[in-house]
Amino acid sequence: MKFSAELIDSDYRITAWEPGAVRVGEVWHREPLLLMAERFAEPWPVAGFEALAAADLAPLAAHGAEVVLLGTGERHRFPDPALLRPLVEAGVGHEVMSTPAACRTYNILLAEGRRVLAALLV
């Protein structure tokens, strides 16, 4: 799914998604990744949704984001609420959705100038 052109001033705009991959700018990522507007597009060392642990989400609270978007893959899946406890305790807003929805939401929040962190399982 190619995303429409947006007026987003960031090298880290999501430009496309397909099953198993997310394109950031012109670079395809085929592994879980973390993404913010001006800071990084880096691999996120998690083995997948079933393997997620609170320890995987705890470091996300330290990135200074207003909201963390957790993309759970091709379909929306609900993690155990205990996994989100580190974000709740840090006062960081979070939303859980499918990865395609997280990609679209990330771009919208990015265009609004929001400090958003996308944690995407591809």
Specify if 47 maps to a domain.
Answer: yes
Residue 31: is its pLDDT beyond 60? Answer: yes
* Total count of domains within the chain: 1
> For residue 2, what pLDDT band results from cuts at 50, 70 and 90?
low
Q: What is the C-alpha to C-alpha distance for residues 40 and 62, in angstroms, rounded to an integer?
A: 14
The answer to whether the beta carbons of residues 67 and 97 sit under 8 Å apart is: no
Specify if 7 maps to a domain.
Answer: no
> What's the CATH number where 81 sits?
3.40.1230.10
> For residue 8, what pLDDT band results from cuts at 50, 70 and 90?
low
Looking at per-residue pLDDT, the higher value among 1 and 100 belongs to 100
Specify if 4 maps to a domain.
Answer: no
* pTM as predicted: 0.90
In the chain, count H helices and then E strands.
3, 8
